Amino acid sequence: MSDLIIERQTSPARLEIRPLTPVIGAEIRGVDLRKPLDAATAQAIEQTLVQWKVIFFRDQDLSNEQLLAFGRSFGPLTPAHPVALGLPEHPEIWEREAGEYRQNHRQDLTIPTARPPRDYKGWHIDITFVANPNRYSILRGVRIPPYGGDTLWSNLESAYDGLSPTIKALCDGLKAVHRTSSYDSGEPRPGRKAAGPFAALHPLVRVHPRTGRKSLFVNPGTTSHIVGLRERESQALLDLLADEVTRPEYAVRFHWTPNAIAVWDNQATAHAGPIDYAHFDLPRVVRRITVAGELPEGPDGFRSRPLEGELFGVIG
């Protein structure tokens, strides 16, 4: 067995795990996700996910029903999005087309917000403007171009670990407000609900409920300010931390192929994608589901709480 391949024996599957970088990302082979997962295989996949933060499967031609069954192997599912509508027959599934990014973003490629931090080119954590963001996100490539449309993921635990002890100690006791952008709020329009604004108070550092490891809980573009700091202090610290979150040595880049599936731990990663949508006109369609999460907890025991809007619901 190669040093670059890890095998996990489950019954009846034998998973082949291929790490992609030293800190984040692994591809899993040896399992057909069209079939129901037995408990041992689901547990092995989830263990791999928690270890490597984002995992990838190739050539998984799943129906919508099979995609939902796979997601439910890890817990109850949420609606597609707090402010976006899911598919009519499957309200858990959010379908995105690459063309939407051009329509909904400014020419400088930033998401329009009332008072944004510096432009971080789409880096974000899913749905942190609610107090209980989803635990896991699962994305399936439905219509994939032959090139372009890649996605990046970053390890937020590594970003925290890379800070100096003094900055870690400062961040451990701070809280930050996460808000919806102007795009996510307001009147309903095609594919959108009448929702928002949403806002939540989160710890700046969160403790992973499975491993106890600390990670930076900074969402570039959505984290509006750090509570208790002057505006310049807050913005300077957010810029510093966002730089850490987006450092290339903490990231993995995934080239999509048709019927590929990505699953990421939304409690310990940020991601950006499609990173080059402004430079190609090829069709790209993906479908996402999310596994329900819990209130994040900080090192001091503080649990996130809503400031505006409701908690993220559960469908089942």
In this structure, are residues 266 and 134 in contact, taking their beta carbons and an 8 Å threshold? yes
Cβ-count burial 93-103 (b if 16+ within 10 Å, e if not): bbbbebeebee
Phi-psi region of 288 (alpha: psi -120 to 50; beta: other; left: phi over 0): beta
Q: How many helices (H) and strands (E) does the chain have?
A: 6, 17
Place of tokens 């939407």: 100
Contacts of 39 (CB under 8 A, 6+ apart): none
Sheet holding 269-272, edge to edge: 251-254, 151-155, 269-272
Give the separation between CA 34 and CA 141, rounded to whole angstroms: 15
Structure tokens at 46: 């989830």
Q: Is the dihedral of CA 128, 133, 136, 140 positive or negative?
A: negative
Give the separation between CA 170 and CA 173, rounded to whole angstroms: 6
Per residue in 194-238, pLDDT (tens digit) is 566 899 999 999 999 999 999 999 998 799 999 999 999 999 999
Give the separation between CA 135 and CA 133, rounded to whole angstroms: 7
Provide the CATH number for the domain formed by 6-308 in this structure. 3.60.130.10
Whether pLDDT at 6 is above 90: no
Whether pLDDT at 106 is above 50: no
Per residue in 10-68, pLDDT (tens digit) is 655 689 999 999 999 999 999 999 999 999 999 999 999 999 999 999 999 999 999 99
Contacts of 246 (CB under 8 A, 6+ apart): 120, 123, 154, 220, 270, 272
Give the separation between CA 271 and CA 275, rounded to whole angstroms: 10
Q: What is the dihedral of CA 240, 241, 243, 245, to 10 degrees?
A: 170
Structure tokens at 277: 């949508």
Residues known to be catalytic? 124, 126, 271, 288
Per residue in 118-146, pLDDT (tens digit) is 555 689 999 999 999 999 999 999 999 99
Give the separation between CA 64 and CA 113, rounded to whole angstroms: 33
pLDDT confidence of 101, banded at 50, 70, 90?
Answer: low
State the pLDDT at residue 115: 43
Phi-psi region of 274 (alpha: psi -120 to 50; beta: other; left: phi over 0): beta
Place of tokens 């807050």: 234
Whether pLDDT at 1 is above 50: no
Q: Which is higher by pLDDT, 116 or 134? A: 134
